[in-house]
Amino acid sequence: MSKLKIKRGDNVIVTTGKKDLKGKTGEVIEVIKKEGRDPRVIVAGLNIVKKHVKPSASNPQGGITEKEASIHISNVALVGKDGKAIKIGYKIDGDKKVRINKQTGETL
């Protein structure tokens, strides 16, 4: 599995996909990497779906809940200081590997 350039806590923008999602930004809550499957991300406040929940001991009422669904990682990009999507590169800084903005060269 290849190294992913988006991490938990990053601020991302949705570049392609559903009309109601495209152009919206949010913080990555979770990055999902499973063997044999494409990587996906869950972004706070985006791609909200309704889920029907059966009654259980912890939730005796059951009902319909809303939660964030995952988005394919290729459909999101990191957001720069100007609010636009940026490309990410890597640079060795001393003995550490750091992420950089490819357009400006500044570290993230």
pLDDT (tens digit, 9 = 90+) per residue, 56-93?
998 899 899 999 999 999 999 999 888 889 999 999 98
**Per the domain annotation, does 107 fall within a domain?**
no
**Per the domain annotation, does 87 fall within a domain?**
yes
pLDDT in tens, 48-62: 999 999 999 988 998
User: Looking at the 3D structure of the chain, how many domains does it have?
Assistant: 1
**Per the domain annotation, does 5 fall within a domain?**
no
What is the span of the domain harbouring residue 56?
A: 11-101
**Per the domain annotation, does 92 fall within a domain?**
yes
Q: Domain containing 92 — which CATH number?
A: 2.30.30.30
What does the pLDDT read at residue 1?
Answer: 56
What does the pLDDT read at residue 26?
Answer: 93
Q: What is the pTM of this model?
A: 0.81
**Per the domain annotation, does 93 fall within a domain?**
yes
Residue 59 to residue 63: CA distance in whole angstroms: 9
